[in-house]
Amino acid sequence: MRRSLVCLSLMVSLYVCLAATTAIADETCNSPYISNLIKGQEGFVHVWTLGVEGLGDGSDKLVTIDADPSSKTYGKVINSLSVGGRGEAHHMGFTDDRKYLWAGGLEDSKIYVFDVGTDPAKPRLIRTITDLPAKTTYVGPHTFYALPGRMLIGNLSNSIDKGGVTGLALYNNKGTLIAHYAMPTTTLGGVKGDGYGYDVAVNPAKNVLLTSSFAGYQNYMRNLGHLIKDSEAMKHFGATMVVWNLKSMQPSQVLSVPGAPLEIRWSLVPGQNWAITAAALTSKLWLIKPSEGGMWSAKEVGTIGDPTKIPLPVDISITADGRGLWVNTFMDGTTHYFDISDPEHPKEAYTKHTGSQVNMISQSWDGKRIYITSSLLANWDKTGADNQQFLRVFNWDGHELTQAFELDFLKEKLGRPHHMKFTARTYGSQSLAALAR
């Protein structure tokens, strides 16, 4: 997934004053408010990687890989930037100007801000934000979603009981907390909120923010094998999504979506106001769309694999035309492609076993390249021979995935690769500040 989760809707937004090119580009899962989307071939893929004790320097790190097939270093690690500790590196998000990547740690709740605009081949750590728990009581910063001039963060837990009740935090691009908003625990629209959080995704044409729900620190930091055997703990997973009024940042409706709904993807087609998500524990696809009287509905529309085997759908990635959806299922290491041209009736059109464990999936805007990483969470990854840790890149011709290259993150002594983001080599333009120098 390219952005972790969120993908979202409208691509637009941004932009520039000049040039009215017809270019379409970039990943399909970024906030729609960022600028300079990638038109063609991505130049670099940045992988937010969990450190592993005893492996290399053991630190979480931002790993940069050359993704340009015309480059001499194509498929190679060209930079590795360690942050000096292990805090369960997880997801990232660009700022609205795409100059910076914000990356979070689910264990230590630190937020790292990397400059990827000055030289995307050599990102620099420019800021570490550590005040999230103290100022909000929220921990586990998960989704980083750019809004104009600011970053909306969906969190997973809280510092009081480390359960799943949490909220959203809004920072400005300078790293100062602006506001924070509790996930609802009251009844809204006939459904009681569970207070849990996970992904965030915005549709400005409807003035709507959607959020989903996962689990708290006590669950996501626990060994998966032990967790599954603990029936009481297994009750503490999110079962709701929330519709928010984006302007007021007030929740307006709670939707019942059992089974831990994770990534949210709005259709990227202007005028299409539906979103889709996958529920991890039930292995179901859910469609969220406008209903009557200004309300929204959530409807189960599809099944991913065999739910009785708990394949655990994790990341999803929607195509730019809103007609296809990639889904990775972690437990069986399978990548699925769904035809969602009729979003009410998704049809599974293709599957491929892509690893012993697969988690994140990102696609290029043109849909021709698929990037997959292996790690879910440090304590949820498989062990022994099944603990493959890789980045695998595939070409997609509409019928078959063909591997382009692979990087073994254990062999490279890097760690557990998780979230990916793309940047491009800069050709033909320069910042005004650089010119002034």
Partner 1 sequence: MILSAPVRAAVDVVPAVAPRMDFTPLPAGTYSLPTIQTVGDAVLLDEHAQPVHLRTVTAGKITLLTFFYTYCVDPLGCPFVRDTLTMLRDRILADPPMAANVRFVGITCDPLNDTPQVLSEYGASFASGGPFEWRFLTAKNVPALLPVLEDLGQDVSVDIDARGHPTRALHHMLKVFLIDPKGRVREIYSLAFIQPEVILNDIRTLHLESSARKKGGIPRDRYASQADALKR
Q: Which of 76, 122, 126, 160 binds partner 1 (CB under 8 A)?
A: 160
Report the site for partner 1 in 100-139 (rule: CB under 8 A): 117, 136-137
Cβ 90 to partner 1, closest distance in Å? 22
How does DSSP assign 78-109, residue by residue?
EEEEE-SS-S-EEEEEE-TTSSEEEEEETTT-
- Binds partner 1 (CB under 8 A): choice among 17, 232, 399, 411: 17
38 contributes a contact to partner 1 by CB under 8 A = yes
Residue 123 CB, nearest approach to partner 1 (Å)? 16
Using CB under 8 A as the binding rule, whether residue 148 contacts partner 1 is answered as yes
**One residue of 54, 232, 235, 271 binding partner 1 per CB under 8 A:** 271
- Map tokens 């940045």 to a residue: 46
Interface segment toward partner 1; rule CB under 8 A; list 17-25, 104-112, 236-244, 382-390:
17-25
Residues 376-435 that bind partner 1 (CB under 8 A): 424-433, 435
Residues 22, 231, 308, 383: which binds partner 1 (CB under 8 A)? Answer: 22
In this structure, what are the phi and psi dihedrals at residue 200, rounded to the nearest 5 degrees? -135, 145
- The yes or no reply on residue 73 touching partner 1 (CB under 8 A) is no
Q: Contacting partner 1 (CB under 8 A), which of 7, 37, 241, 264?
A: 37
Q: Binders of partner 1 among 171-190, rule CB under 8 A?
A: 172-174, 176, 178-182, 185
- 291 in contact with partner 1 (CB under 8 A): no
Q: Among 16, 231, 235, 383, which residue interacts with partner 1 (rule: CB under 8 A)?
A: 16
Its sign, for the CA torsion 370, 83, 116, 149, is positive
Going from the C-alpha of 308 to that of each of 182, 303, 305, the distances in angstroms are 34, 11, 9
Radius of gyration of the chain, Cα coordinates, nearest whole angstrom: 20
Please report how close the Cβ of residue 106 comes to partner 1 at its closest, in angstroms: 18
Q: Which residues partner with 398 through β-bridges? A: none
**Which residue among 90, 150, 369, 416 contacts partner 1 (CB under 8 A)?**
150
Torsion of CA 4, 72, 399, 322, to 10 degrees: 40
How many residues interact with partner 1 (rule CB under 8 A)? 79
Which pair of structure tokens corresponds to residue 424? 């491009």
Nearer to partner 1, 18 or 385 (CB): 18
Nearer to partner 1, 387 or 426 (CB): 426
Q: What are phi and psi of 192, to 5 degrees?
A: -80, 130
Q: Which of residues 190-249 bind partner 1 (CB under 8 A)?
A: 204-208, 245, 247-248
Nearer CB in complex with partner 1: 13/351 = 13
Q: How far is the CB of 137 from partner 1 (least distance, A)?
A: 4
In the bound state with partner 1, the residue whose beta carbon lies nearer, of 206 and 323, is 206
Helices (H), 112-215: 132-136
Q: Residue 269 in contact with residue 278, Cβ under 8 Å?
A: no
* DSSP character string of 336-402: EEEE-SSTTS-EEEEEEE--SS---EEE-TTS-EEEEE--S-TTTS--GGG---EEEEEEE-SS-EE
**Closer by beta carbon to partner 1, 12 or else 234:** 12
Q: Please return the burial class of 349, using the count of CB atoms within 10 Å of its CB with bins 0-12, 13-18 and 19+.
A: middle
